[in-house]
């Protein structure tokens, strides 16, 4: 029996070390694959910490037993980990191959779902519908409404209320209505004065072109009844609806399948799925109105700055008729257009600012003062009498007062052409006003001393 003892010990060392290392390898790989993206980022930027963190679990599992075996001449402890590594990787490769075969069958099923395309039967559809992520009217929606005879219906898959919001082009008094004011400002920001859109809720529609976008990050959810499980991503489907019945025109699938395995190596993931002619919201709308996608992304050119300024300024007298948020949005919109006009249309911007200065309305005066900061320094010169009037403007915002003070100090600085005698005398006449603030007294003194 003793002569068999070394062999039994050798086989026992192999068996025990193989089992221990196999269990350790499974645990180590699960740890690394769980944090794979984090390690990948570290390695991508050449951070050695990433390499250390990836290698450490395997070093801990693979090195101690062989090192102990070599030190004690127990070579079964050396052979066992090697055998464990080979067996573990072999079983893992087999599982990946089996899963890849299943995923390939699912990929083929998706390819069939997106294999056919068709053209609309009707050519006079004016209603375009988008059932997707958002129900608001964005830049593309506005351009479609402003430049075509189409209406646009939208709804979001996230909303519990499955009614549609129908947007239709409008003009005139409807654009200043409280319920349309915010969208009117959106039209103005994109260079479409005298146009807006009304919004109404509708339960559905009988005729039109429809884009349906379905997205899911849940592998257990089937995006369509005939779609395989395990898919995450999106399916985009375009339909022609006639008399309430939908006819599929095209389908585009973009996503990937979930792998249930901790794959080795990290980068051997199931390939992405992209089948069918690409469809998205922009391409759907562009094709419907007979334009390129780039058309929907381009601003209205040439941009009608003067008309847009005038359109936004109409809301300054509507404070009591529109809600506070819309009024603040009108303020922000005017400043946005002012910033955009400051270089190509400096003269026009100054004319609009002078109109606001002359309004004697504190809100409009403050707005025009803020717009000064958008202009080049050599363009920030206004009539002296207008600037003198601003010294006494009822401005409450500290930031605006600071801007005005800097502008007045620059305009009436020594070395520049002196103001007229009338402006100088007006400034002197107010020097003894008891309610003057320090900055006002400083500016008036500066004006009165200019020769």
Supply the pTM of this predicted model. 0.76
pLDDT tens digits along 395-434: 888 899 999 999 999 999 888 888 999 999 999 999 988 8
At residue 298's C-alpha, the angle toward residues 316 and 279, to 5°, is 120
The pLDDT value given to residue 267:
47
- Please list, in sequence order, all residues whose beta carbon lies within 8 angstroms of the beta carbon of residue 51, skipping any fewer than 6 positions away: 42, 43
The pLDDT value given to residue 25:
66
The pLDDT value given to residue 114:
75
d(CA 67, CA 72): 9
All residue ranges of the chain with pLDDT < 70 are: 1-14, 17, 21, 24-62, 65-66, 69, 72, 75-77, 80, 115, 123, 220, 223, 261-269
> What are the strands of the beta sheet with 127-132, ordered from one edge?
196-202, 164-170, 151-156, 127-132, 208-216, 231-242, 245-257, 273-275
Beta strands per DSSP E along 104-163: 127-132, 151-156
pLDDT tens digits along 108-131: 887 787 767 777 877 688 999 999
User: Other CB atoms closer than 10 Å to residue 76's CB: what's the count?
Assistant: 21
At residue 364's C-alpha, the angle toward residues 398 and 336, to 5°, is 85
The pLDDT value given to residue 166:
95
Task: Please report, for the chain, the start and end positions of each structural domain, with discontinuous segments joined by +.
Answer: 2-113, 127-163+203-297, 342-449
């Amino acid at each position: 029996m003793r002569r068999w003892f070394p062999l039994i010990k050798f086989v026992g060392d192999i068996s025990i070390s193989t089992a221990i290392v196999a269990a350790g390898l499974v645990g180590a790989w699960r740890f690394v694959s769980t944090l794979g993206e984090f390690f990948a980022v570290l390695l991508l930027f050449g951070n050695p910490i990433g390499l250390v963190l990836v290698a450490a679990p395997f070093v801990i599992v693979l090195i101690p037993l062989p090192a102990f075996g070599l030190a004690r001449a127990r070579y079964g402890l050396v052979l066992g980990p090697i055998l464990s590594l080979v067996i573990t990787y072999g079983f893992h490769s087999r599982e990946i191959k089996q899963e890849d075969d299943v995923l390939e069958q699912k990929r083929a099923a998706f390819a069939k779902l997106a294999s056919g395309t068709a053209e609309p039967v009707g050519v006079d559809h004016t209603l375009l519908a988008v059932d997707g992520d958002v129900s608001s009217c964005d830049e593309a929606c506005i351009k479609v409404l402003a430049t075509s005879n189409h209406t646009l219906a939208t709804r979001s898959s996230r909303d519990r209320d499955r009614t549609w919001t129908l947007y239709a082009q409008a003009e005139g008094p409807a654009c200043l209505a409280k319920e349309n004011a915010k969208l009117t400002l959106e039209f103005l920001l994109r260079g479409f004065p005298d146009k807006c859109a009304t919004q109404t809720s509708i339960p559905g529609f009988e005729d039109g072109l429809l884009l349906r976008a379905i997205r899911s990050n849940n592998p257990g959810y089937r995006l369509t009844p005939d779609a395989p499980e395990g898919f995450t991503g999106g399916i985009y489907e375009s339909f022609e609806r006639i008399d309430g019945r939908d006819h599929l025109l095209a389908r585009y699938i973009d996503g990937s399948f979930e792998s249930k395995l901790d794959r080795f190596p990290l980068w051997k993931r199931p390939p992405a799925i992209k089948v069918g002619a690409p469809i998205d919201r922009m391409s759907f709308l562009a094709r419907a109105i007979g334009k390129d996608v780039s058309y929907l992304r381009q601003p209205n050119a040439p941009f009608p700055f003067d008309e847009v300024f005038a359109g936004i300024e109409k809301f300054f007298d509507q404070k009591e008729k529109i809600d506070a948020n819309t009024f603040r949005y009108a303020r922000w919109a005017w400043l946005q257009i002012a910033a955009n006009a400051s270089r190509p249309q400096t003269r026009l911007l100054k004319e609009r600012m002078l109109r606001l200065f002359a309004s004697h309305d504190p809100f409009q005066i403050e707005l025009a003062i803020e717009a000064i900061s958008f202009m080049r320094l050599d363009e920030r010169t206004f009539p002296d009498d207008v600037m003198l009037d601003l010294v006494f403007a009822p401005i409450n915002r500290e930031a605006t007062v600071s801007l005005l003070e800097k502008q007045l100090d620059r305009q009436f600085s020594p070395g520049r052409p002196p103001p007229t005698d009338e402006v100088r005398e007006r400034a002197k006449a107010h020097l003894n006003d008891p309610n003057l603030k320090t900055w006002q007294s400083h500016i008036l003194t500066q004006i009165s001393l200019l020769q």
